Amino acid sequence: MALSTGRVNNTARDRAAGADGTRGRGRPPGGLRQGLDRHWYAWAMVAPVILVTALLVGWPLARGVYLSLTDATEANIGRTIGVNVIPSTYEFVWFDNYVAILTSGLFWEKLTWTVVWTVTCVAFHYGLGLGLALLLNRKLRFRSAYRLLLILPWAIPGFVSAFIWRYLYNSDFGVINAMLRAAGLGGVGWLDDPTTAKIAVIAVNVWMGVPFMMVAVLGGLQSIPGELYEAAEVDGATPWQRFCFITIPSLRTVSSTVVLLGTIWTFNMFPVIYLISGGGPGSSTEILVTYAFREAFTGVRDYSNSAAWGVIILLLLVVLAVVYRRSLRKQGEVW
């Protein structure tokens, strides 16, 4: 097998295809060879995605990490204007960007708000979703109608919802203020004050996210066998005990999946913040993702700094994934 690794795949695959008839399968042809014989079709099926992601994610990622170690901005990055090629003049500065970010109060402020935003939203999503699912999981007239109507916010594309809510929050013409005025209270400049703006964006995200949780939990509830409850009733368990010892444990797998998904989605929720408050007033409602985006694409585009923000955000999410995988493994998933 004196082949260069780059060509091993094709050559050996051809051989594997051609050699099948002449050589017995049981002959031990060496580890790599054996692997190719057994696994080449699996690898071939995975290959397109690996190639695409390597090209579209791997390369930009490597480039992003590299940029984060430089001081590149729009002003000093190489570019071509017409026939003139302007060479790059940015320099390698190692971890200066990271040090600057991690020692700035701004980062911790944004991180705190992002964590508050994510935890609050996911808690409300899950809590309300579970509550509504429990209500809908009972014998009830108009059950399908309720379910359908409650799901609607999910059916509206996210950016449309964001625009609707921005109109509702409008301090002059918005219906929320109109109601407050009709009730004799003064209008509130919802998006003009940091605190109310934060409450406002959280409310929108909760509104958008509850239906998914509700449907997911409802699916989980319906898969719990009724005999469990009957047996518990016979044994004299109170409703509360049945809820704690049957419902909650049975929902654990569904819950962990949807909570993880919800956490990632909320953490990276770009449209709600960007379209409703624009991160404002000031940068008070800016979460990490929108802040890094703003760094990269407003004013003098600061490529290196935003790349460093991106890397930090990614590391946070990877930690989350590791924790998640550990919990999956406890439940017996093998990988």
Partner 1 sequence: MSTVTTAGGGRARGRGERGVGKSILLHATLLAAVAVSLFPIVWLFLTSLKPRDGWLSSELEIFNQPSLDNYVRVLTETQFPTWLLNSVIVAGLTTVIGVFLASTTGYAVSRFRFPGYRGVMWMLLVIQMFPVAILIVPLYNLMAGLGLLNQIPGLVIAYMTVAVPFCAWMMKSYFDSIPREIDQAGLVDGLTPFGAFWRVILPLARPSLAVTAFYSFMTAWGEVAYATVFMSQEEKRTLAIGLQQFVGQHWSDWGLLTAAAVLIAVPAAIVFLLVQRHLVTGLTAGATKS
Structure tokens at 181: 């005025």
Among 95, 223, 245, 327, contact with partner 1 (rule: CB under 8 A): 223
Among 101, 200, 201, 313, contact with partner 1 (rule: CB under 8 A): 313
The angle, 0 to 180 degrees and rounded to 10, between the axes of the packed helices 143-155 and 105-136 is 160
Q: Which is nearer to partner 1, 2 or 334 (CB)?
A: 334
Q: How far apart are CA 7 and CA 5, in angstroms?
A: 5
Among 69, 190, 201, 220, contact with partner 1 (rule: CB under 8 A): 220
Q: How far is the CB of 178 from partner 1 (least distance, A)?
A: 5
Q: Does the footprint of partner 1 cover residue 320 (CB under 8 A)?
A: yes
Q: Does the footprint of partner 1 cover residue 14 (CB under 8 A)?
A: no
Map residues 58-77 to x or -, x wherever contact with partner 1 holds by CB under 8 A.
Answer: -xxx-xx--x---------x
Q: Which is nearer to partner 1, 56 or 102 (CB)?
A: 56
Q: Which residues contact 128 (CB under 8 A, 6 or more apart)?
A: 206, 210, 213, 214
Is the distance from CB of 202 to CB of 121 less than 8 angstroms?
yes
Q: Which is nearer to partner 1, 113 or 165 (CB)?
A: 165
CB atoms within 10 A of CB 62: 11
Structure tokens at 53: 């992601």
Q: Does the footprint of partner 1 cover residue 41 (CB under 8 A)?
A: yes
Q: Which of residues 133-172 bind partner 1 (CB under 8 A)?
A: 134-140, 146, 148-161, 163-168, 170, 172
Q: Which of residues 246-275 bind partner 1 (CB under 8 A)?
A: 253-254, 256-258, 261, 264, 267-268, 270-271, 274-275
Is the distance from CB of 233 to CB of 145 less than 8 angstroms?
no
Q: How far is the CB of 69 from partner 1 (least distance, A)?
A: 13
- Report DSSP letters for 183-244, one per residue: TTPPP--TTTSHHHHHHHHHHHHHHHHHHHHHHHHHHHHHTS-HHHHHHHHHTT--HHHHII
Q: Does the footprint of partner 1 cover residue 25 (CB under 8 A)?
A: no
Q: Which stretch binds partner 1 (CB under 8 A): 5-13, 102-110, 132-140, 188-196?
A: 132-140
Q: Does the footprint of partner 1 cover residue 129 (CB under 8 A)?
A: no
The secondary element (H helix, E strand) that includes residue 86 is strand 84-86
Binding footprint of partner 1, residue count (CB under 8 A) = 115
3-state secondary structure of 73: coil
